[in-house]
Amino acid sequence: MSNPLFQFNEGFGMSSVEELAALQKALYAGYEVNPLAMTDGAAIRAEDVDNTLHITTYRDEHFRIWNDIAKIPAYSTAEQYIRLTGYGTAEGGFMGEGSLPNETTSQLERMVAFVKYIGTRRRVTHPMMMARTYATDPVTMENRNGAMVIARQLEWSMFYGNSKLGHEVGGRPSEGLEFDGLWNFAEVEVDMRNKPLTERAVNSIAQVVLDNYGMPNRMYLDYAVWQDLNTTFFPKEKVLLPTNDGEYTAGVKIGSMVTQAGTIRVSPAFFLQSTDLRSPLRECPLVNTNVDVPLPPSAVTIGTPTGSDGDFVKSFPSGGTVSYKVTACNFNGESAGVAGDVDVTLTSSDVTKHIPITIANATSPTANNVEYYNIYRKDDNTGGKYYWIAAVPCQDQAGSGATVWNDTNSVMPGTRVAFLGEMNPDIIHFRQLSPLMKIDLAQIDTSYRWALVIYGVMVLTTPRKWVKVKNIGRLVA
């Protein structure tokens, strides 16, 4: 070899200072991962990429109500069903000897549920399909990830979906793209008024379901509410359980509760605490959430408190200050928030009044016009943050068209939600016109495009057998 570095016959220490420096430099592998910056030893260093795809977002175990609910076939885009609301008059059952009993008639009504369509479009380029990849095949990965997107949308919609968020036509909201979730389906609600959920409260809510001929067996709540419920059961005691290796396990986790209505399974649901879609924990966005969203409102006018239907006393009995922001929404997303023109200071005599809000549509609406508005509120209890309190259908899509809504403090910003009722296929189920399926799309370039879709609607045949528990507060440490 002519390279002096390999002329060992000359003995050690015979190389020049430059040659030793080159040898020393070649021994360093370094940490560079940019191929354009890899020099010397890094240029020949093999990269080691873990073949496992590590998931940093939600997974299958985050879906609770979607996994629990019964799925049954649907056969039309308008699914009709019949409800038996009564067996007949309860009075007059007794009769005299030899006489005829009174005639009674069943009470029946026909209802309809409109199938809705949920999907996601995916795309992989042809070179990406040909290239060697780590972890998994890209099409397989996109199929699974797309299915997760749809499952997440279904899970959230079963809690917060609202079918009446289309713009108003003839004074009535048009049918929106979502199906109704328990937030809008449940005809009975319990207001916790910023108090934590306790054992006594759960028993009282279970009694409400019993009074409506239901047999409650399921309660969905978010993890923070679950934590507080666990704490209220064991406020002082320390539960220590021995393990096989001599250690002890501390703490409690309530999986079910025995009530006068029977055993109720407690299911903490991750998406009840949603912060990126409608819920009382969602903060007002500072920028547009997506492309093709409506232009922001041109003005948000906050009126003087009036009327007698408000309930602000549960937020601040002696009065307080409230501020508002409003976003314009369609089914692509929502615009950045627009602040109300004034803050409102409520006195102790104002807490039973409502606050009127007038929203003016954009002066020159685009083709991506507004379907509804999200209203956010900041007050003395929200730590300076604006939280969602309402979604209101647009009443006039014309330029500067007005939409009026009154804030009665029905929803307290930054509070939490739970649902309790009877999980029974006869009472609540998901009707599928189509299960999850893959539809190949036309190839218009050197990429493979397809859509994943599912068609269906959640049906709650007896809305009084589920209770919406709103404005749940947190335990104070």
Q: What is the mean pLDDT of residues 294-308?
A: 97
In Å, what is the CA distance from 316 to each residue of 122, 308, 409? 49, 16, 11
Helix (H) or strand (E) holding 477: none
pLDDT tens figures, 37-57 = 777 767 666 666 666 566 666
Please report the pLDDT score of residue 6 as a whole number.
47
Query: Residue 7: what residue type?
Result: Q
Separation of alpha carbons 234 and 216, rounded Å: 24
Please report the pLDDT score of residue 52 as a whole number.
59
Q: What is the mean pLDDT of residues 360-378?
A: 95
Separation of alpha carbons 295 and 303, rounded Å: 23
Instruction: Kindly report the backbone phi and psi dihedral angles of residue 37, in degrees, each rounded to the nearest multiple of 5, phi listed first.
Output: -105, 5
How would you classify the pairing of strands 466-472 and 188-191? parallel
Q: What is the mean pLDDT of the chain?
A: 88
- Contact (Cβ atoms closer than 8 angstroms) between residue 42 and residue 30: yes
Position with higher pLDDT, 429 vs 51: 429
pLDDT tens figures, 397-407 = 999 999 999 99
Q: What is the mean pLDDT of residues 419-424?
A: 97
Separation of alpha carbons 471 and 469, rounded Å: 7
Please report the pLDDT score of residue 30 as a whole number.
72
DSSP assignment of 206-254, as one string?
HHHHHHTT----EEEE-HHHHHHHHHHHSSS---EEE-TTS-EEE----
CB atoms within 10 A of CB 8: 9
Position with higher pLDDT, 133 vs 471: 471
Q: What is the mean pLDDT of residues 184-207?
A: 95
Please report the pLDDT score of residue 3 as a whole number.
52
Residue 465's nearest CA partner among 429, 422, 426, 430 is 422
Spatial neighbors of 123 by CB under 8 A, at least 6 apart, are 142, 447, 448, 449, 450
Position with higher pLDDT, 45 vs 364: 364
Q: Does 36 score more than 90 pLDDT?
A: no
Please report the pLDDT score of residue 17 as a whole number.
66
Please report the pLDDT score of residue 5 as a whole number.
45
Please report the pLDDT score of residue 237 as a whole number.
54
- Contact (Cβ atoms closer than 8 angstroms) between residue 280 and residue 72: no
Please report the pLDDT score of residue 49 as a whole number.
66
- Contact (Cβ atoms closer than 8 angstroms) between residue 135 and residue 141: yes
Residue 264's nearest CA partner among 222, 212, 207, 223 is 207
pLDDT tens figures, 54-112 = 666 667 788 999 999 999 999 999 999 988 877 777 777 788 888 888 888 888 889 99
Q: Global pTM?
A: 0.86
Q: With b meaning 16 or more CB within 10 Å and e meaning fewer, what string describes 51-77?
A: eeeeeeeeeeebbbbbeebeeeebeee
pLDDT tens figures, 106-135 = 888 899 999 999 999 999 999 988 888 877
pLDDT tens figures, 137-178 = 889 889 999 999 999 999 999 999 999 999 988 888 889 999
In Å, what is the CA distance from 208 to each residue of 35, 62, 155, 248, 416? 65, 28, 25, 40, 20
pLDDT tens figures, 337-359 = 999 999 999 999 999 999 999 99
Spatial neighbors of 259 by CB under 8 A, at least 6 apart, are 202, 203, 206, 216
pLDDT tens figures, 228-280 = 998 887 765 556 666 677 676 677 788 999 999 999 999 999 999 878 889 99
